[in-house]
Amino acid sequence: MRLDQEEQSTNIEDRRGIRVSPGLATGGIGTIAILLIGLFLGIDPSVLLQNNTNVDTSQPPPAQQGSAPDETREFVSRVLGSTERTWSDTFQQSGRQYEKPTLVLFSDSVRSACGFTSAASGPFYCPEELKVYLDLDFFRELRNRFQAPGDFAQAYVIAHEIGHHVQNQLGILQKMQGRQSRSGSQANAVSVRVELQADCLAGIWASSANRTRKILQEGDVEEGLNAAAQIGDDRIQKRAQGYVVPEGFTHGSAQQRVRWFRRGLASGDPNQCDTFSVGQV
C-alpha cells in the first residue's frame, strides 16, 4: 500500500499496556448492541456479555511501556485518516456530516461500553461510544493463523470496522437491532447481512482512496480478497471443529465476503452495498 499522501488521524486512543480484569456484569443496552457487532474469529458473543471489567491503574501508561512498534501505530493512523477523508467527502456529497470515530488500541483485554472483551475476540466496533477496538496482535494472527498476510489485508480489517461506524451513522445498526429482536431464529441471518454490508463499505473506501490518492499497489487487491475469504464463517468453523454449520454463520461465508468486498471495490458506489434488499447474499 502507498499511504504517504494520507494524513495520520488524531483520533487514536492508545490503551496498550493498561491491564484490565473481569468484574461483575452490569447489563444494559450495551449487551444488546454487542450481539450485532459480531466477531472476526467466530466467537459466541454471549462470552462477551458475561463480564464487565475493572482497570488496574497501577500499571504505567501505554506510552511509557511502548508495547507495540510505532510504525504499526502509524500505519493504523494513516489508514484511519484515509477512511475519515473518504467518508467525510461521501457524507458531504449527500448533505450529511460524518462524525469521525475513535480507534482504541489495546492489548490482551479491554473495557468498553459494550462490555469486557479479550483480544481473542478480534477487532470490534462499539456503537454506543462510536469507537473501534483493535489489538495489534490480531495482525499477527491474521498473517500466521489465517494465512492472510499483507498491509492491505490489515487495512481491510480496519475498513470493515469503520464500515460498521458508517452503518451506525446512517441508522442502519439501530434498525437491524430491531429486526434481530423480532426475527428470533433468523437473527444470525440478519447479522450476516450487516457484516457483508460492512465488507462492501470497506471496498468503497479502498476504491475511493485509490481513485484520489492511488493507494493500491500490485498484489494489494489480492491480499484484501484473501483476507475476506480466510475469515469467512465456513473456513473458521472448518478450522475450529472440522465441519461447517451454515445456520451458525454470523458474518457470511468466504465466497459471500469476497463477493461483497469486491462489489464495493469495483463499483465505488455505496448504493451497491444494500445487502438487505437482495433475495440472497
Q: In this predicted structure, what is the pLDDT of residue 184?
A: 75
16-34, pLDDT tens digit by residue?
A: 989 887 653 333 334 334 4
Distance CA 179, CA 198 (A): 17
32-80, pLDDT tens digit by residue?
A: 344 444 444 444 444 334 333 343 433 444 443 444 458 999 999 999 9
- Segment 145-157 shows an average pLDDT of 97
DSSP per-residue string spanning 52-111: EEEEETTSPPHHHH--S-HHHHHHHHHHHHHHHHHHHHHHHHTT--PPPPEEEEESSEEE
The set of cell numbers assigned to 226 is 484473501
Residue whose C-alpha is closest to residue 147's, from 69, 239, 79, 245: 239
Q: In this predicted structure, what is the pLDDT of residue 19?
A: 82
pTM of the full structure: 0.84
Residue whose C-alpha is closest to residue 209's, from 147, 268, 258, 145: 268
Tell me the H-state helices in 214-232: 220-230
Q: Alpha carbon of 121 to those of 37, 179, 241: distances in Å?
A: 11, 24, 17
Q: Alpha carbon of 124 to those of 114, 120, 149, 264, 273: distances in Å?
A: 10, 11, 20, 21, 20
* pLDDT greater than 80 at residue 208: yes
- Segment 251-271 shows an average pLDDT of 98
Residue whose C-alpha is closest to residue 199's, from 99, 135, 270: 270
114-136, pLDDT tens digit by residue?
A: 999 999 999 999 999 999 999 99
